[in-house]
Structure 1
Amino acid sequence: MPDPADSVSTVMDRPAPAGDRTEAPSGAAALPASLPASSPTSLPASMPPRAPLAMPVQDLRDRPAARRDGGGGPFLARLFVFGGAAALTAYGAWQMYEVISVSGGATWLQWVLLVLFVLNFSWIALAFTAALLGFAALLRRDRPAPLPAHLATRTAIVMPVYNEGSARVFAGLQAMHEAVDATGLGRYFDWFVLSDSTQADAWVAEERAFLALRAELGPEARLYYRHREKNHHRKAGNIADFVTGWGGSYDHMLVLDADSLLTGDCIVRLAAAMEADPQAGIIQSLPLIINRNTLFARLQQFAARIYGPVIATGLSVWSGRDGNYWGHNAIIRMEAFAEAAGLPDLKGRPPFGGHILSHDFVEAALIRRAGWGVTMLPRLEGSYEESPPSLIDLAVRDRRWAQGNLQHARVIGAAGLAPASRQHFATGIAGYVASPLWLAQLVIGIVIVLQTAWVRPEYFSAEFGLYPVWPRFDPVRALQLFALTMGILLAPKFLGLILALLDGGTRRASGGAGRLTLSFLIEILLSALIAPIAMLIQSGSVFQILAGRDTGWNPQRRDDGSIPFADIVRRHRWHTGLGVVTGVAAFAIATSLFLWMSPTILGLVLAIPLSWASGQLALGLALKARGLLVTPEEQAPPAIALRAGELARRNAARGFDDADALAALHADASLARAHAAMLPESRPRPRGTIDADHTLARAKIVEAETVAEAQAWLTPKERFALLHDRAGLDQLTRLAPA
């Protein structure tokens, strides 16, 4: 066996290949068996030439001078939404006071209950008035403008990925690329996959899929790929790295998620809308959920399709040009983003310090602060995404969102923000604080009822009175207030149902009026049962965040697979136990209390079977077969979704996602050379510092004699480090087969 050290020294003596370059394979379906052994510097680039763009970090304490005035919103719409919500809240507070003060006064516990009620009621009142505004706007149907014949600007379509399946990512990308080309305007768009993947197998699978797709689309496709060695600041840092490195070549960027899917018409219309509005910094589309089949995902898909437009349109109308950004399926003016959206690190440690987790809200607020407009096009068709397949998957993602939104408490007071931007922050924070507030309201209510039922009045109090003061309620008013609260809570859903029933196409495509109404009732019932589980999950997340626990960033599961039952039991056993204890205690206190709390009790007691059912593909498909929880996009699937599905199946058959990275690189010398060519230029190591993973990876690969030994010896972090080491890669290709 040759001395491994000689191999390493040979490679290290060679000139380093130019960064950001790769080989273009000649086959469409798979990588060719071999490529010319020419220098990687002569190979087609995996990224275009750099065009740096300055992106200064913003100071949240200093209000910059706005050089433009592209914001603002309709005064009357805001007066209706916020004035109406305030009036409803005041009426609800008065009614609640009348409920608890029937004895002529209120105890301190009742005052606490009143405060909690007002906070929770104000949240749903605001959603109600905004939904009314959206409903009124959607009653008027506008005819879409014709597709533009040409564009005057260039747009980068960027898809950040993080340990995703390459088969579906590149299938969606190819489907969108083909759809844009079909409009005749494909020359105005460049396509970028920006990888932050930290798993070696996922990284190499992405590269193989990229090389195969670029070979299939040809040299005119302008498809590019870049992988970062360190996923600094996660998605926000990924986008910022692209802007500062290549943003100078583009007027706009259209930001996607790994599950995003936009029609060619939608992409072109977003670019045209940005061109038509030179003061716009961000234009957000409304993504609809598609391709979901588990029970829980179908509930979300149905709700987003029937109720989502009402809520989003109301938000869009009152926000006007002071809108928000959801992090994907939106087009952004490159100048505005570079000028205003450089995110600072917050002082302190996570979860409230460090880099900003939910960056999208902050980027929108800062761009608006700089004078650019932020708008939404909720009526624009052709914007799609997917959703988590189960309740537990949603909880995993929601934990990260909870931390990001609570972290906005450090940003909401930033100097110079528009009032509407502060409201967006407040809405996001309230969305998570509402769960522990609801939990506290339930607990206080039970304590008061318990006190009323079991605690004897004190007849000889310190203050003279003819009668003892103890908690009492007006049951008639309480029932009326409960009905009012539920009506306001469910009104946005009823408004969405009414619009769907009035729209003949939507009604027929959703199974007809009968099935649509039955689907509506199923969604309300299951959502009501899931709500107390979600309340406890979110409350736990908030308590953990307040206790200083950081969430990290786990990749989202996007398949339709179920979760092992043992995991479900482990995650929900405390919810079930709490439901049983609450039910027994409520029944022992008073039958009326048990009946009043029965929806909450039932949802908690059934937490384990409900969570199990939520991820079941068979249950979702059974409802679909009976025409229930069906959306128009299922009855007549968008052509781009069909094409993406077809391409995903073809890509999956290639097996890139199932292959071991080391084995793939060892078996295909052309892939190994292409991978090495795509690596960025290595940076000199500071003297006196050692990267343990890199050092151990090189030592192990030098000592290994076969690929099997390298696979067995290298840890996941060492594998990842090895893939960044050209010398180690050269040694890998020299190993004997397994």
Structure 2
Amino acid sequence: MASEGMTDTSHVPVDARRLSRRRMIFLALVVATMAAMVAMLVLSFAGNGVSAGEGVMIACFLFTLPWTVIGFWNAVIGLALMRLSRDPVRTVCPVEPGDTREQSPASVAILSCIRNEDVSQVGAYLDATIADLARSGRASGFSLYVLSDTNSADIAREEEAAFERLAARWRDVMPVHYRRRADNPGFKAGNIRDFLEHWGARHDYMLVLDADSFMSSATILDLVAKMDANPRLGILQTLVVGMPTVSAFARVFQFGMRLGMRSYTLGSAWWQGDCGPYWGHNALIRIAPFAGACHLPLLPGKGPLAGHVLSHDQVEAVLIRRAGYEVRVIPVETRSFEENPPNLLEFIRRELRWCQGNLQYLKLLDLPGLLPVSRIQLVLAILMFVSAPAWIAFMTLGALLVLVGGEEMIRFEPGPGLALFATILTMIFAPKIASVVDMLVDPGLRRAFGGAPRIVASAVSEVVFAALMAPMIAVAVTLFVAGLPFGKAIGWGAPIRDNRALPLLLCAAKLWPQTLFGLAGFAWGFAVTPGAIWPLLPVVLGPALAIPFALATSGPRAGRLALASGLWRLPEESTPPECLLPLHLPAHASLGITFTPPADVPSARMEAEMGKVGA
């Protein structure tokens, strides 16, 4: 019997108690670290007491901390798991593996959600997906649904012809359905809801893909086997990696993502457990609970944060968790791919779309019945895009206080200040540092990424790239958030995926605020405190160079130079997996990698018809 005043936890499963302890440890680490960093900032200001202006700066600083501190501890825990655990994935994702040798009894719908996309590219990806499943001999349980929200009549005609050919080509392997909504309420989530209402009852699971997604048959079948073996799994998310690309911008960016992704995801899965993330694509979903529990509300009010939910994925994750089903991420790189934005302007547009969607969560925080971790995840998703305006406000307010009142209004002690600055930089880059360490000590990873010298050179140059880009994005997000009360919103258009060169006038029109911010920072530094210009460089150099940065990292010429340098190369380029070769990726062609179709696959016999997919 439990002692009086204590809670009896003997009925709680061991895994649940272990997860609860992990969450308490993680919470303690995050709170203690944030408190220590705020204390360091207070000490930096304490030479003549903390003024009212400095107090506001401390409040702004507090809003910037959660994502930085959480990312740091995720990386530390992830690195510890990678180096010390015999099976890191099993430690954080304890799902039964299932049997991939047997045909699953489940019916699986593959959903490709598209809107005004390059039809030939989408068709090639889907053709390769079906071909890989056909080679596995397990395609009989699958059906493909191309769910179009295209509002261009010309592209719609291309889609109809292309996917009619795709259906005819694979009629003996799996059914292919094409549907276009004339009206598009609810964006992508509404597209999937329409599928559920019309065809969902026919299937057990749905594999959600974006237009730029590709997954191998081995990865898909592994997801299905795990879902079969774990009836309480609602969503099983793969770790999505960038596809080999000829875009210089995307090459550097996705190499950086690859650096930080595994340690970060392992660490986050350690404490999130069954309340894991859903990223909206490259995930397998159990249809019945999703259809019943994940009806997204129409947000009340007017303006950009009202109406249909844009960032539907995390909301659906917390709703299906509320219904009693687990949401898990498999924190290991498999054959699950996506494309990344090919240039800076497209990257900013994606960030602003996510920003608007995540800030809509302000109207969802009072959803009844959410688990505490789920509610925290919504808060963190909001803070992801509140931190940028808070950081800009912190820097701007500090500059104004120095300009207006000098040491009477703000006094910065260099000792604790520089220590805090170094601590923040270490925390920001901790996930990447952790993964570089893991690569360098693991012979297999070291070979896969091209050897130690190439890994180090690629990592150092990517850190410089990220340090330049981060304040550019922060300025863009800050201006966007400031415009939300006045009706500023991001449109719902098809992303640009090809590696076109950006025009100078377009870059100037889009990036002049960043340039102005950077130049103003330099002017302030040289005019007011010339000795402080070096610590300011990470803040103002990137924005000041935003326009040439965007130009230099876009277009075919930049891509050829990036490929020729040998830097930022992924294992899928050094040793391409067989499943990617039918895609005829330009990056592989540039590296001299070719594909000879096997004669026993229907797609191979009709390779010449692939040009007709987009005709």
TM-score (norm 2): 0.89
**Change in 2 beyond 3 A, CA 1:148/1:420:** farther
Deviation at 1:481, TM superposition (A): 1.5
Q: Is the 8 A contact 1:323 1:420 kept in 2?
A: no
Deviation at 1:266, TM superposition (A): 0.5
Q: Is the 8 A contact 1:577 1:605 kept in 2?
A: yes
Q: Report the counterpart of residue 317 of structure 1 in structure 2.
A: 270
Q: Is the 8 A contact 2:165 2:613 kept in 1?
A: no
Unaligned runs of 5+ in 2: 1-14, 91-96, 585-594, 596-602
Q: Is the 8 A contact 1:130 1:314 kept in 2?
A: yes
Q: Report the counterpart of residue 234 of structure 2 in structure 1.
A: 281
Confirm or deny that 1:439 pairs with 2:392: yes
After TM superposition, the structure 1 = structure 2 runs for residues 628-647 of structure 1, keeping only pairs within 5 Å, are 628-645=567-584
Deviation at 1:593, TM superposition (A): 2.6
Q: Report the counterpart of residue 416 of structure 1 in structure 2.
A: 369
Q: 1:610 aligns with which of 529, 549, 562?
A: 549
1-structure distance, mates of 2:44, 2:515:
32
SS of the aligned residue for 1:553 comes to coil
Q: Is the 8 A contact 1:510 1:627 kept in 2?
A: no
Confirm or deny that 1:546 pairs with 2:485: yes
2-structure distance, mates of 1:471, 1:206:
61
Deviation at 1:347, TM superposition (A): 1.1
Q: 1:78 aligns with which of 15, 23, 31?
A: 23
Confirm or deny that 1:95 pairs with 2:52: no
**CA RMSD of the aligned region, Å?**
2.2
Cα deviation digits, residues 372-391 of structure 1 (max 9, x gap): 11111122611111111001
Confirm or deny that 1:476 pairs with 2:421: no
2-structure distance, mates of 1:325, 1:81:
21
1-structure distance, mates of 2:608, 2:494:
21
Q: 1:385 aligns with which of 338, 344, 347?
A: 338
Deviation at 1:529, TM superposition (A): 1.0
Q: 1:530 aligns with which of 469, 491, 505?
A: 469
SS of the aligned residue for 1:85 comes to helix
Confirm or deny that 1:350 pairs with 2:303: yes
2-structure distance, mates of 1:266, 1:136:
26
Confirm or deny that 1:133 pairs with 2:77: yes
Q: Report the counterpart of residue 5 of structure 2 in structure 1.
A: none
Amino acid at match of 1:478: G
Confirm or deny that 1:512 pairs with 2:465: no
Confirm or deny that 1:364 pairs with 2:303: no
Deviation at 1:618, TM superposition (A): 2.5
**Change in 2 beyond 3 A, CA 1:344/1:369:** same
Q: Is the 8 A contact 1:71 1:374 kept in 2?
A: no
Confirm or deny that 1:497 pairs with 2:436: yes
Amino acid at match of 1:106: V
Q: Percent identity of the aligned residues?
A: 34
SS of the aligned residue for 1:379 comes to strand
Q: Is the 8 A contact 1:71 1:371 kept in 2?
A: no
Amino acid at match of 2:162: A
Q: Report the counterpart of residue 110 of structure 1 in structure 2.
A: 54
Q: Is the 8 A contact 2:277 2:314 kept in 1?
A: yes
Q: Radius of gyration: which is bigger?
A: 1
SS of the aligned residue for 1:332 comes to strand
Q: Report the counterpart of residue 563 of structure 1 in structure 2.
A: 502
Unaligned runs of 5+ in 1: 1-69, 458-469, 660-738
Cα deviation digits, residues 288-330 of structure 1 (max 9, x gap): 0013222210112201222111112222221111112110001
Q: 1:204 aligns with which of 153, 157, 167?
A: 157
Cα deviation digits, residues 555-595 of structure 1 (max 9, x gap): 11111222222101111123222322221122110112322
SS of the aligned residue for 1:243 comes to helix
1-structure distance, mates of 2:352, 2:307:
17
Q: Is the 8 A contact 1:168 1:651 kept in 2?
A: no
Q: Report the counterpart of residue 64 of structure 2 in structure 1.
A: 120
Deviation at 1:130, TM superposition (A): 1.5
Q: 1:149 aligns with which of 102, 110, 123?
A: 102
**Change in 2 beyond 3 A, CA 1:656/1:405:** same
Q: Is the 8 A contact 2:206 2:286 kept in 1?
A: yes
Cα deviation digits, residues 12-54 of structure 1 (max 9, x gap): xxxxxxxxxxxxxxxxxxxxxxxxxxxxxxxxxxxxxxxxxxx
Q: Is the 8 A contact 1:175 1:640 kept in 2?
A: yes
SS of the aligned residue for 1:558 comes to coil
2-structure distance, mates of 1:474, 1:599:
19
SS of the aligned residue for 1:347 comes to coil
* Greater Cα shift, 358-367 or 303-312: 303-312
Q: Is the 8 A contact 1:435 1:536 kept in 2?
A: yes
2-structure distance, mates of 1:419, 1:617:
48
Q: Is the 8 A contact 1:153 1:251 kept in 2?
A: yes
1-structure distance, mates of 2:608, 2:473:
36
Q: Is the 8 A contact 2:275 2:321 kept in 1?
A: yes
Q: Is the 8 A contact 2:139 2:173 kept in 1?
A: no
Amino acid at match of 1:606: L
* Greater Cα shift, 291-300 or 644-653: 644-653
Q: Is the 8 A contact 2:507 2:551 kept in 1?
A: yes
TM-score (norm 1): 0.75
1-structure distance, mates of 2:24, 2:457:
36
Q: 1:247 aligns with which of 192, 200, 223?
A: 200
2-structure distance, mates of 1:327, 1:642:
25
SS of the aligned residue for 2:185 comes to coil
SS of the aligned residue for 1:282 comes to strand
1-structure distance, mates of 2:116, 2:609:
16
2-structure distance, mates of 1:490, 1:220:
47
Deviation at 1:616, TM superposition (A): 3.0
2-structure distance, mates of 1:248, 1:538:
41
2-structure distance, mates of 1:172, 1:618:
26
